[in-house]
Amino acid sequence: MTVPAYLHIVQYCAFGIAIIANSLLLHLIRMRAGLSFGRYRVLMISFSIYAIVYANIEIFTLPVMYMQGAGMIFYVDSVLKNHQDIGLLIAVSYCGCLAFCISMLATHFIFRYIAVCRQHHIHIFNGYKVYLLLIPPFFLFLIWAGAMFVCYRPNEVKRDFYRKVIADLYEEDIDQVAFIAPLYYGACFTTCSICAYKTYNKLHDSAIQMSKRTRTLSKQLFWTLGLQTLLPFITQYIPVGLVFLLPLFEIQVGKTMAVPVYLHIVQYCAFVIAIISNCLLLHLIRMRAGASFGRYRILMISFSIYAIVYANIEIFTLPVMYIQGSGMIFYVDSFLKYHQDAGLLIAIVYCGCLALCISMLSTHFIFRYIAVCRLAWKMEVYSTEFLT
């Protein structure tokens, strides 16, 4: 369906209210805000003017946003939607206003803090100096809008990705409308999820012709792979996701004291367990995994070798992470911590292992999907041909 009419009615009403309210506020500031407001009047006027400009930018944008899979599309639904260059410019300006708004509000808080808590420094805003507070908002606006323009501008990959959903939901031609869109290439998690879902359904489909032994073995391998994937998801990917998310809200996480001894004891114990268990697994694969496992033995051996290598990299890293304010530090606490070049290299390799792990697991899911689903499909075809 197309964008509902009431949505645009709400946007136009909000535009009218914003223009009237901020024009009235400007009039009141001019007529009623006397000397007692001091140079703060400049910031009040500036924010009201920004609000009027933003209202006009929004009405020339009329943004429509939709999330699909690993991406989000933001397209212009105003009179500029079929003017791709101007529409792209107004879209990135709309996004840049988000940075401008919060930074403008930050300058207000800075001014009020100095006016109340540091009154002896209020002179720094005398005369033209108060206008210097407007430089950071404009700078952040340019940075943010520029980043949107460079990273999220349209290309053929994004057009192909959103073409069908935009046509089906909004009856728009993606080649004609102005839009910006982030598209995250998180293919590994998607691959694992899709292949796992289809494999699970096939294994529990009684109509599929498969020997009891093969079905049992495939189920065991499936659940083993699922647990094998769940472990790094809980111990690696969720913590790493939080590490990137929490600084956005300036949530402090970590101890403000020396790294406790028990943490390193746990890390060394985990290292020993990982080495022993994966060496044992390699031995079992070599001795017990017969012809029924087929070429899947190679992937099993590869992942066990990766796990051993990763355990050694982690013990050479002994990572310590701490979140403070809007930043996060990751430092090496092993014997390499005072060897900056080698320590930096091992820290980077440690981070790269996160990508290697999930991509290797996705290859396992792809193999199991082909082994179960495609093999079953071929057996169905052969059975049909035999009966006919």
Q: What is the residue-level pLDDT of the chain in tens, covering all 388 positions?
A: 577 888 889 999 999 999 999 999 999 988 887 777 888 889 999 999 999 999 999 999 999 988 887 788 999 999 999 999 999 999 999 999 999 999 999 999 999 898 888 888 888 888 888 899 999 999 999 999 999 999 899 989 889 888 988 898 888 999 999 999 887 666 677 778 888 888 888 888 776 677 787 788 888 888 888 887 887 777 777 777 777 677 767 677 665 556 778 888 888 998 999 999 999 989 988 888 777 778 888 999 999 999 999 999 999 999 888 877 777 888 899 999 999 999 999 999 999 998 899 889 999 888 888 888 766 555 444 444 444 4
Query: Looking at the domain assignment, is residue 131 inside a domain?
Result: yes
Asked if 270 and 306 sit in the same domain, the reply is: yes
Look at residues 348, 369, 352, 72 and name the one whose alpha carbon lies nearest to residue 199.
Answer: 369
**Which residues does 234 contact at the CB level (< 8 Å), separation at least 6?**
none
Query: Looking at the domain assignment, is residue 6 inside a domain?
Result: yes
Asked if 373 and 247 sit in the same domain, the reply is: yes
Q: In degrees rounded to 5, what are phi and psi of residue 258?
A: -65, 155
Query: Looking at the domain assignment, is residue 200 inside a domain?
Result: no
Asked if 291 and 229 sit in the same domain, the reply is: yes
Q: Which amino acid does the sequence have at 274? A: A
**Which residues does 280 contact at the CB level (< 8 Å), separation at least 6?**
none
Q: State the Cα–Cα distance between residues 299 and 311, nearest whole angstrom.
A: 18
CB-based burial, 196-227: b 16+ in 10 Å, e otherwise: beebbebbeeeebebeeeebeebeebbeebbe
3-state secondary structure of 328: strand
Element (H, E) at 107: helix 84-117
The two structure tokens encoding residue 249: 């809200």
Asked if 311 and 346 sit in the same domain, the reply is: yes
Element (H, E) at 4: none
The two structure tokens encoding residue 182: 């982030």
Query: Looking at the domain assignment, is residue 226 inside a domain?
Result: yes
∠ CA(266), CA(271), CA(277), 5° rounding?
120
Query: Looking at the domain assignment, is residue 5 inside a domain?
Result: yes
Strands in 179-180's sheet, in edge-to-edge order, are: 63-68, 71-76, 179-180
Asked if 13 and 127 sit in the same domain, the reply is: yes
Query: Looking at the domain assignment, is residue 192 inside a domain?
Result: no
- Asked whether the whole model's pTM tops 0.85, one would answer no
Q: State the Cα–Cα distance between residues 58 and 76, nearest whole angstrom.
A: 10
Per the structure, the complete domain to which residue 41 belongs is given by: 1-187
Asked if 229 and 181 sit in the same domain, the reply is: no
Q: How many domains does the chain have?
A: 2
The two structure tokens encoding residue 181: 């869109």
